[in-house]
Amino acid sequence: MINLVVALPAEARPLIAHYRLTDKTTHGGFRIYRNAGMSLIISGPGKVAAAAATALLAACNSAAAQAAWLNIGIAGHATHATGQSLLAHRVTDHATGKSWYPPQLFDLATTTTSLLTVDRPESSYHHGLAYDMEASGYYAVATRFSSAELVQCFKVVSDNREHSTASVTAESCVQLITRALDKIDLLLDALSALAQEHDNWHAAPAGLEQLTRQWHFTVSQQHQLAELARRWKVLVPNQPLWLDKLDTRKKAAEVLQCLQQHLDSLAPGALQATQEPGV
Amino acid sequence: MFNIIYIERQVADHPRTREICTRFPHATRVECDRYGEVFNPNAQNFRLQKRNPSLILAEKHKGRVLQAPEGYGLGGRRNYYFSHMLNCLYDCRYCFLQGMYRSAHYVLYVNYEDFENDMGTILAEADNESCWFFSGYDCDSLAMEPVSAFVQHFLPFFSRHPQANIELRTKSTQIRGLLKMAPIPNAVIAFSFTPEEIYHALEHKVPTLERRLQAMLQLQQAGWQLGLRFDPLIYQHAYQAQYRGLFQRLFSQLDSEQLHSVSLGTFRLPHSYFRNIVQLYPDEPLFAGAFSTDNGMVSYPQALEQEMTAFCTRELLQHIPESLLFPCTLAA
């Protein structure tokens, strides 16, 4: 699952069209657009609104274990030309001074930047910083739900020392995001592949649900069962979690004991060569 | 090698920082107040970050040289360990670092001189008694040498302090710097090995067994003291044949009379680290086996542990005298 958080309808329009986010709902004044694998929420301007929208989207999509998150929007920058795409390697909240450092795992062509989230539009641009009004609120909340590697901020420069914020219109905003769609595509492909891989590692084996329907497991026993299910997936790959002799077991504790004994007898005698992918 | 280098503001102008940064002209430099802002936050995934870790340059303020736990050592009475770096270039699936740190970024402490001062203080207090300083606990001692110049900096200190001994523990073949120096008798370059089958399954990005063996031979020929470390011992059905083969291969080429020490210890981890690692690698066969937990440590069941240690000890004693063998008797 990919979650997009944008501040303005003008930033959202090209994304809704490009990703065909046709399913529209409204929750607590926030508009959410969806397709099967992606959700976009329009937060409105400001970090508090961004934080609220991010939390709402996370709650609405709680089934996704580790979603990829992307905050997309326009930003000011002292020196970069308008239209320049930027990925935040540091997000700092101007009011509190707190910083976050989104890990940059991908070798993408997009330039990275320090991003300062301010409470009011900024007209005096300090060298080397991008300015926005949402990222710190979004980032602080999104990393409550997903690992930091999967939470990123993508900005397109809309104003700088030569082109003030006064020159930014809804139409120019649409154009800026539209021109950045190729780069957004690349980033989202990389992020969603990473999120998918993470989910695959943790996917429960088939058959687990049937066990929990058939026997009542206490909370403690559910943890034990989850651990046995993990071992099952490794030691008995591609087979549902089930043993014929479980049929005669009446209590959950007996089921756990039976599975444990079976798995202990299968302890891996020969480790297989594997390799973690790089980027 | 690095897309991003995070730099603590207070070491931004440190000569070592500047030198390291010049090696990576294309890396983006990101300043931070304290490295913990980058390294310590909760919402990080070590496994994902391990695909492309960044470098963090920082200052170590305190706890630079620490007393080694009881049971750790090579026969000396005063044992200390220190880490100029956190995290390792390699990706060994059994490594405790995965369970200890949330981030896979490499932290390099650039204030080497402060480490030396602390060692100097310890040596002064020891009043000429021999001390051991172990490097390679939180990182590989040699793997990052081209960047860190750690050995190049620290060995001259040990050259000046003959009562101080250093162990450099490694799986690396970065020995150029050592070969350029005159060997010193109070430094031991200790190489870690597992059998070939385990290397392929668990020791990702590590130089091959053969390359490490060749590195050892070059060092031995140059007169450096060497150690062999078989820690952790990893169980497989065929472990006896595998370890016997490994020992034969190593000792048939190395001059065992010139070896300084050999140590071994079975796979074990603090329970909290084990839990974290399993959470990161639920699909790893190594962690699907049967383990037992005792006193907060996860290890192979005691009978198996004893069997493996006894077997490997017996096999090793066919190649080396007992005086060179140091079984590790403490928790990881």
Nearest-Cα distance to chain B for A17, in Å, is: 31
Instruction: Give the mean pLDDT of A198-207.
Output: 92
Same domain, A239 and A110: no
Provide the token pair at A168: 């930014």
Nearest-Cα distance to chain A for B22, in Å, is: 19
In a domain, A165, yes or no: yes
Rounded to whole angstroms, what are the CA distances from B124 to B115, B116, B141, B186? 14, 12, 25, 17
Judge whether residue A269 has pLDDT over 70: no
In a domain, A275, yes or no: no
In a domain, B11, yes or no: no
Residue range A149-175, pLDDT digits in tens: 999 999 999 999 999 898 899 999 999
Nearest-Cα distance to chain B for A261, in Å, is: 10
Q: Is the sign of the CA dihedral A202, A207, A210, A216 positive or negative?
A: negative
Residue A105 near chain B (CB below 8 Å): yes
Nearest C-alpha neighbor of A277 from the set A182, A175, A217, A193: A193
Per CB-CB distance under 8 Å, the chain A contacts of B201 are 271-274
Residue A89 near chain B (CB below 8 Å): yes
Question: What angle do helix axes B112-126 and B150-160 make, rounded to 10 degrees?
Answer: 20
Indicate which of A54, A238, A271 best probes the interface with B, i.e. most B CBs within 10 Å of its own CB.
Answer: A271
CATH at residue A84: 3.40.50.1580
Residue range B90-127, pLDDT digits in tens: 999 999 999 999 999 999 999 999 999 999 999 999 98
Nearest-Cα distance to chain B for A171, in Å, is: 33
Residue B26 near chain A (CB below 8 Å): no
Tell me whether residues B47 and A277 touch, CB distance under 8 A.
no
Tell me whether residues B51 and A230 touch, CB distance under 8 A.
no
Per CB-CB distance under 8 Å, the chain A contacts of B44 are 103, 147-149
Judge whether residue B253 has pLDDT over 90: yes
pLDDT of residue A278: 56
Share of residues in chain B with pLDDT > 90 (%): 92
Same domain, A96 and A211: no
Per CB-CB distance under 8 Å, the chain A contacts of B198 are 271
Nearest-Cα distance to chain A for B235, in Å, is: 8
Tell me whether residues A143 and B282 touch, CB distance under 8 A.
no
Tell me whether residues A276 and B28 touch, CB distance under 8 A.
no
pLDDT of residue B293: 93
Residue range A226-252, pLDDT digits in tens: 999 999 999 999 899 999 999 899 999
Residue range A119-131, pLDDT digits in tens: 998 888 887 899 9
pTM of the model: 0.94
Per CB-CB distance under 8 Å, the chain A contacts of B50 are 276
Range with lowest mean pLDDT among A51-55, A108-112, B39-43: A108-112
**Stretch (H or E) spanning A231:** helix A219-235
Same domain, A64 and A131: yes
pLDDT of residue B136: 82
Same domain, A248 and A138: no
Read off the pLDDT band of A273 (50, 70, 90).
low
Give A266 or A117, the one with higher predicted confidence. A117
Q: Is the ipTM of this complex over 0.90?
A: yes
Q: Which residues contact A14 (CB under 8 A, 6 or more apart)?
A: A174, A177, A178, A181
The Cα–Cα gap between B86 and B137 comes to 9
Same domain, A74 and A10: yes
Residue range B182-194, pLDDT digits in tens: 999 999 999 999 9
The secondary structure of chain B in percent helix, strand, coil, rounded to multiples of 5, reads: 40, 25, 35
The Cα–Cα gap between B186 and A277 comes to 40
Same domain, A165 and A133: yes
CATH at residue B181: 3.80.30.30
Q: Which residues contact A227 (CB under 8 A, 6 or more apart)?
A: none
CB pairs under 8 A between A and B: 116
Please state whether the peptide bond connecting residue B232 to the residue before it is cis, i.e. omega within 30 degrees of 0.
yes
Q: Which of residues 9-38 of A touch B (CB under 8 A)?
A: none
- Strand ranges (DSSP E) for B196-283? 203-204, 225-233, 259-266, 268-270
The Cα–Cα gap between B318 and B247 comes to 10
Instruction: Give the mean pLDDT of A83-103.
Output: 97
In a domain, A166, yes or no: yes
Same domain, A148 and A18: yes
In a domain, A6, yes or no: yes
Same domain, A195 and A214: no
> DSSP string of B195-215?
-HHHHHHHEETPPPHHHHHHH
In a domain, A56, yes or no: yes
What is the rounded end-to-end Cα distance, in angstroms, of chain B? 30
- Strand ranges (DSSP E) for chain A? 2-6, 23-27, 30-34, 38-42, 68-77, 85-93, 99-100, 111-117, 129-132, 151-159
Same domain, A86 and A215: no
Angle at B241 (CA atoms; ends B240, B243), nearest 5 degrees: 65
Judge whether residue B332 has pLDDT over 60: no
Tell me phi and psi for residue B214, to 5 degrees: -65, -40
In a domain, B265, yes or no: yes
Tell me whether residues B44 and A149 touch, CB distance under 8 A.
yes
Q: Is the sign of the CA dihedral A39, A44, A50, A51 positive or negative?
A: negative
In a domain, B208, yes or no: yes
Q: Which of A156, A182, A201 corresponds to the end of one domain?
A: A201
Give A239 or A275, the one with higher predicted confidence. A239
Burial of residue B2 (number of CB atoms within 10 Å: 0-12, 13-18, 19+): buried
Q: Is B134 strand, coil or helix?
A: strand
Number of domains in chain B: 1
Residue B95 near chain A (CB below 8 Å): no
Tell me whether residues A103 and B54 touch, CB distance under 8 A.
yes
Read off the pLDDT band of B1 (50, 70, 90).
confident
Residue A138 near chain B (CB below 8 Å): no
- Residue pair A212/A222 in contact by the 8 Å Cβ criterion: yes
Angle at A181 (CA atoms; ends A180, A184), nearest 5 degrees: 90
Read off the pLDDT band of B252 (50, 70, 90).
very high
In a domain, B196, yes or no: yes
- Residue pair A37/A192 in contact by the 8 Å Cβ criterion: yes
Nearest C-alpha neighbor of A253 from the set A206, A278, A220, A210: A220
The Cα–Cα gap between A40 and A62 comes to 15
Same domain, A141 and A224: no
Q: Give the alpha-carbon dihedral of B105, B111, B113, B114, to 10 degrees.
A: -100
Per CB-CB distance under 8 Å, the chain B contacts of A148 are 41, 43-45
Tell me whether residues A103 and B281 touch, CB distance under 8 A.
no
Tell me whether residues B201 and A273 touch, CB distance under 8 A.
yes
Residue A103 near chain B (CB below 8 Å): yes
Residue B327 half-sphere exposure, CB side, CA atoms within 13 Å? Answer: 15
In a domain, B5, yes or no: no
Tell me whether residues B50 and A264 touch, CB distance under 8 A.
no
Determine the longest span between alpha carbons in chain A, in angstroms: 78
Q: Which of A201, A230, A251 corresponds to the end of one domain?
A: A201
pLDDT of residue B267: 94
Same domain, A12 and A68: yes
Among A100, A230, A276, the residue with its CB nearest the CB of B282 is: A230
In a domain, A238, yes or no: yes
> The domain containing residue A69 runs over which residues?
2-201
Rounded to whole angstroms, what are the CA distances from B327 to A249, B80, B314? 45, 18, 12
Nearest-Cα distance to chain B for A243, in Å, is: 18
Burial of residue B204 (number of CB atoms within 10 Å: 0-12, 13-18, 19+): middle
Q: Which of residues 172-201 of A touch B (CB under 8 A)?
A: 194, 198, 201
Number of domains in chain A: 2
Same domain, A135 and A8: yes
pLDDT of residue A265: 87
Residue listed under structure tokens 């991010």: A54
> The domain containing residue B315 runs over which residues?
57-327
DSSP strand pairing (B187-192 vs B164-170)? parallel
